[in-house]
Amino acid sequence: MSDAGSPAGKLYVIGLGPGPASWLTPEASEALAAVTDLVGYFSYVERVAPREGVTIHGSDNRVEIDRARHALELAEAGRVVGVVSGGDPGVFAMAAAVLEALESGPEAWRGIDIEILPGVSAMQAAAARIGAPLGGDFCAVSLSDNLKPWSIIARRLEAASVGDFVVALYNPASRARPRQIHDAFALLRKLRPHSTPVAFARAVGRPDERIVLTTLGEADPGLADMSTLVIVGATTTRLIARPGRNPFVLTPRSYGAGR
């Protein structure tokens, strides 16, 4: 039961994971079974099995704040709303958009019952496919300059290289942003050994999955699109050869650990 004076609705921010239903958490499944309204980017709401009585509110990829405000308005009106994101909603996704809209919105929205439900991130799924590239210290950087200037992205890539972090690159390229991944690799090649292992993990867990293991010097940045997660290793990252199979990628837990 809601507190006196609080909106009667509920808002779940739900991580759908990278794609397969088996990677959807039981908690997320329970929330999806309870919602009256589903809000999200078209391709994400289409991944949820249709259910009688649920109203779908699909929208374009570049309207996150509008989408979040709409979800909050629905919850304020007493609806049980699910805002869906791929992967984990707290990683470059809708959890931040919902809280940004909440922060700048009407005071009444502060009383809405909001739960953020985690999901398997693209970074985790890609790492599991190729071994343990995130076994040591790592960071995640979005290459999208829609909401921040490229100078900030470049500065963070430089800082990650100085700190010798493994870097997971989100949002590497799109039709509107084809150059950023090329610029990022040009910068990283100045800062890291060309022998550094690199993985392009596209559509992990989906039928069109593709994994390419290469090195920083030999990598083709053009392999990346918006369905790709790129992992660039640290100086300690290495490959473990396996007969007849792709090698495992390992970043040891202890820094400078020998073979």
| Model confidence pLDDT, tens digit, residues 60-116 | 877 899 999 999 999 999 999 999 999 999 999 999 999 999 999 999 999 999 999
pLDDT digit string (tens) for 166-216? 999 999 998 888 899 999 999 999 999 999 999 999 999 999 999 999 999
Domain that holds residue 101: 10-120
Among 91, 120, 149, identify where a domain stops. Answer: 120
Split into its structural domains, the chain has a count of 2
**What's the CATH code of the domain at 212?**
3.30.950.10
Q: Does residue 54 lie within any of the structural domains?
A: yes
Measured distance CA(68)–CA(81) in Å, rounded: 11
- Please list, in sequence order, all residues whose beta carbon lies within 8 angstroms of the beta carbon of residue 143, skipping any fewer than 6 positions away: 153, 169, 170, 171, 172, 173, 177, 180, 181, 184
145 and 220, same domain (yes or no): yes
Same domain, 30 and 142: no
pLDDT per position as a tens digit, 118-144: 999 999 999 999 999 999 999 999 999
Residues 106 and 132 grouped into a single domain: no
35, 81 Cβ separation under 8 angstroms? yes
Q: Say yes or no: 53 and 76 in one domain.
A: yes
Distance between CA atoms of residues 245 and 248, nearest Å? 9
Same domain, 46 and 91: yes
